A and B are shown apart, each in its own frame.
Chain A
Amino acid sequence: MSSINYSEKIPNNVNLSEDRTLQRALEGWQPNFINWWDDVGPEGSTNHEVYLRTAVSVDPQGWAQFGHVKMRDYRWGIFLNPGDANREVHFGDHKGEKAWQDVPGEHRANLRRIIVTQGDTEPASVEQQRHLGLTAPSMYDLRNLFQINVEEGRHLWAMVYLLHKHFGRDGREEAEALLQRQSGNEDNPRILGAFNEKTPDWLAFFMFTYFTDRDGKFQLSALAESAFDPLARTTKFMLTEEAHHMFVGESGVSRVLQRTAQVMNELKTDDPQKVRAAGAIDLATIQRYLNFHYSVTIDLFGADQSSNAATFYSSGLKGRYEEGKRDDDHVLKGQTYKVLEVQNGQLVEKDVPMLNALNEVLRDDFIKDSVAGVNRWNKVLEKAGIPTRLTVPHKAFNRQIGALAGIKMSPDGRVVNEQEWSARKDEWLPTAEDFAFVASLMGRVVDPGKFAGWIAPPVMGINRQPVDFEYVRFG
C-alpha cells in the first residue's frame, strides 16, 4: 500500500488502477493541470533541470529522493500516509466511532468546502511566486523556490484526488475551478485574501513561507486529526513536505538578518539609510514586512467566533492542533475561551464558548509557534551584538477579519485614533518606498556558490550537497 506505483501515468499509493472511473477522471484533469503549470507556474523555467526531492514511497527512506529533473516532469501524484484499519474518531460528537472511509452525506457540503479552501491555497501560492525565479539571490535559493512550487502543485493533487474520489460530479467541477481561479484576478480571485496579495520580492517570499506556510502547517495539522480518514492521511503526508517551506522562510529571513547585522557592524552604524546605501535591508524595513505578513496571515484563521468552526469540530471534520496530545475531554461542550474585543476604545478579554472560539484557539497556537521562530531570528542579532530585536505585532494589529477587523491599533497593542494611525502607519507597515527599495536589490544571482549582497549564504546545502553545488542546470 505504501509503495508508489510509478509505472502509471499518475504515481500513487492508493491503487488507482483498480478504480478505472477515478483513474480516467484524474487522467482527464492531468493535462489541465499541466496547462495551468505552463501558463502560470514558475516563469521561464521550462528547460531548467532542478535538484528536487521526489517521493518514491511515504516511508522515511523513500519520500526524499533527490535528483535533477525538469519541473514539468516532476512526478506529481497521490500519496497517503499508511492507514490504520482500527482508527477511531478521537474528538467531537462522534468520538469513539470508527473513522470514516467515505464522506457521510450530512457532512458532505462542509467537507467539500474545507477541502476546496485548502486546495485553493496551493496553486495560489505558485501563482503568487511565479516571477520570483527571475530575481533569485542565488542558485541555492532558486532551487528552494522551485521545490516549494512543485510541492504546492502536489498538494493541489492531494486535494483534487479527494474531490474526485469522494465528491462525484461536484468534486470534479470544484477540481476544475481550482485551476480557473487566479491569484489577484479581479473577476475570479483565489478564495482567501492573503493568497491574492502579491509576493513582490524575496523578503516577502521568505516572510510568506515563514508565516503563511505556517498557517498551512496548522490548518493541515488540524485536518490531519479529521474523522474523515482519507483527509487525515493525505494531510499527514503533506505536513512532511510543508516543513521544507517553513525552513525556507525561517532560514531565509535569518540569512537576511545575518547579512544586515554584518553590514551594520562593518559600517558601525544603525542608520537605516547607511545600511540601505550599503545594499542591505535595514532592520526597520524587515520589521515592517514582518508586521504585514504576520497580520495578514493570522486573518487566515477566520473569525474569532465562528459557529462553522464549532460545527466542523463537533462533527469531527477538523480537530485542534495536536488534538491527540491534549488531555481534555475532546468534546469541549461547556468550556470557555478568551477572545479579544474593543469596548469603549479599550481592548478587553471576554469569555466565549470554546467550541465557537476554535479559530482563535488555532490562531493562538500559531502565534506561539511563530513567536518562537522570531526569537530564533533575534538570536542572530544577539550573536552579532546588535541590540535591536524583532517582535510580532499585537494580535489585533491590522486585522481585516473577525471582531478586531478595521480597528486602528498600534503594533504594541494600543487602540489609536485615525490621526495617529495615518501619521504612523508608515512606521508600522511597509510603504511603497520600502517595496521600491527592496525591489531595487532584487538582481538575479545564479552562479553556483554566489549570493546577492543583501543575504548571507546558508550554513549548509541541501541533502548534504555543498553550498556551491549546481542546484539548477539551465537548459
Chain B
Amino acid sequence: MDMAVVNTGVIKQHLIDPEICIRCNTCEATCPVGAITHDDRNYVVRADVCNGCMACISPCPTGSIDNWRTMPAVKAYSIEEQLTWDELPAELTPEQLEAEGVDDGAAEAVQQTLAAAEPAAAAEPGTVAFNSAQYNAATPPWSAAHAYTNLYPPKSPTTATVVGNFNCTEAGFENQTHHIVLDFGTMPFPVLEGQSIGIVPPGTDAAGKPHHARQYSIASPRNGERPGYNNVSLTVKRVLQDHQGQPVRGVASNYVCDLKVGDTVQVIGPFGNTFLMPNHPKSHIVMICTGTGSAPMRAMTEWRRRLRKSGKFEGGKLMLFFGARTQQELPYFGPLQNLPKDFIDINFAFSRTPGQPKRYVQDRMRERAADLAELLQDGQTHFYVCGLKSMEEGVMLALRDVAADAGLDWDTVGAALKREGRLHLETY
C-alpha cells in the first residue's frame, strides 16, 4: 500500500462494505494488481497489495467498493478478518488512533491531502494566433477577502519550522511530490488560498551569491493546514530535470523535499493579491490545473469543504479539471475521490495512459461544454487556471470554443471575466 502510506506508518485502508456488495466479481476482475479476492461470503482487499489505483471504483455497480479507514499500517485489517464481516467496522476515533501512536497531523494528512501530480499535460499548440494571457484579471473577485502581502520581504525573512514532510508519491516512483507543512509559531503570517510564499534555500550559488527565493503556492486554507494552527502546507515537486528533459537538480525543490521535521526554513511573503477565491457563498469556482498547479485548488476546495461542514455554504458549485500524465502520478487520488459528488464535480485527464489516446484538461473541458457554457453565463462563476505555461493557451481556447458553441460572444464574455476579476491564470 505504498501509495497511501506516509512516513508515519498510517494507511488509508481500502475496504468493501459487505452489506452493500452484491458479490458480482467486477472489482476482482478489474483489479490490475490482484489485491481483491473472495470466498463464499465476502469480497475483500489485501491491504499490502492494494496500491490505491482506484481502477475498481467506477466499475463497481453498488458503491460498496468505495470505503476507506485510517489505520496504523501494522494494524491493517487482514483478509481473514474481513472475510468474517457482516458489516464494516467503524472508523477509529482520534483517541483510538492516538493510542496506536498515530498523531492527528498524520491522520489528517492522509485524509485530506490532495497532493499534486506531476506537471504534465502540455497543451496542443493552438492553430490560430491567440493571446491567452490577455484575459488574466488584474483584480480579485469582489467578494475576496483582503490579502496581506510582503509582510516579510526578501531583505527580512521570517523563520518557519517544518512540522510535516510527506512524500506522497509511490515509493520508487521517479517523480516525487512532497506535501510539506510549515508552522510559524507565534509570528503572524496570514494567508489566503491562492497566495504563495517564498522559500530561501541556504548557502550560495556557483557565483558565490546567496540563493534567491523560490515561490510556492500554498495548498492549505486560510485557517491553517490543521484548522486553528498557524501553519501552511506546500506541494513541491522534486525537480530532477528541466522542462526540456535535461537532468538538472533543482536547488530549492530538493532542499525543501529533503527537509526533516523540526528543521527551520527562511520564508518570505506572502505574495499575490489577485488570484484569490470569492467568499460569496453562492459563487461558483471552476478550477483547471495540472501537476503542482493543484496546490491553490486544493486550498480553495478545502476551505469550501470546511465551510460546508460548518453549514456556511449556499450551494456555490465547484468544478475541477485536473490533468496528469497518468493516474499513478496522482498520488492522493483517493481523498479527492472521497469528496461528495454534489460538493465538487471532478474531471481527470490523463495524457500518458498506455494504450489510451492522450487526454488533456482542455479535452475534458470540451466534453463538459454543456455545463461549462451554463457556468460561463453565470456572473457568479470564477475561473482559475494553474500549472505549466503550455496548458494556458489550450485551456483558454477551449473556453472560447465552449462560449462560441453556446452562442456567446467570447470577446464580451472574456472581457467581462477579466474586468470582474473572475478569470485568473497562474502558469509557469
Contact = CB atoms under 8 A, between A and B. Distances in A.
Are A and B subunits of one complex?
A: yes
Interface of A: 1-3, 57, 59-64, 82, 217, 239-240, 243-244, 246-247, 250-251, 369, 372-373, 376, 379, 459-466, 469
B326 to A, nearest CB: 10
Interface in B326-352: 327, 340-342, 348, 350
B40, B59, B348 interface centre (most CB from chain A within 10 Å): B59
Contact of A3 (B23, B30, B348, B357): B357
Nearest to A3: B357
Which of the four size classes fits the interface of chain B? Answer: 20 to 34
B63 A57 contact: no
Contacts of B57: 60
B63 to A, nearest CB: 5
Contacts of B356: 2-3, 57, 59, 62
B67 to A, nearest CB: 11
B23 A2 contact: no
Given A246-B22, A247-B62, A61 B341 contact: no
12 contacts: A3-B356, A60-B56, A60-B57, A60-B59, A61-B58, A240-B26, A243-B25, A246-B22, A247-B24, A372-B41, A463-B58, A464-B63
B22 A465 contact: no
Contacts of B30: 60, 240
B262 interface: no
A61, A251, A372, A465 interface centre (most CB from chain B within 10 Å): A61
A38 B55 CA distance: 36
A243 B22 contact: yes
B20 A459 contact: yes
A243 B66 contact: no
Closest 8 CB pairs of A and B: A243-B24, A60-B55, A247-B61, A244-B61, A64-B58, A464-B341, A243-B61, A243-B26
A59 B348 CA distance: 14
A420 to B, nearest CB: 35
Nearest to B327: A61
A247 B62 CA distance: 6
B353 interface: yes
Contacts, number: 83
A201 to B, nearest CB: 22
B340 A251 contact: no
B311 interface: no
A466 B340 contact: yes
Interface in B10-44: 19-20, 22-26, 29-30, 40-41
B290 to A, nearest CB: 17
A372 B59 CA distance: 22
Contacts of A3: 355-357
Interface string B239-281: 0000000000000000000000000000000000000000000
Contact of B86 (A1, A57, A379, A464): A379
Contacts of B29: 239-240
B367 to A, nearest CB: 8
A466 B342 contact: yes
Contacts of B26: 239-240, 243
B20 A460 contact: yes
Given A61-B327, A469-B342, A1 B355 contact: yes
Given A243-B22, A247-B61, 18 more contacts: A2-B356, A3-B357, A59-B55, A59-B356, A60-B54, A60-B57, A60-B58, A61-B55, A240-B29, A243-B26, A243-B59, A246-B22, A246-B61, A369-B23, A373-B23, A376-B22, A460-B63, A464-B340
A463 B19 CA distance: 18
Given A60-B59, A61-B350, A465 B86 contact: no
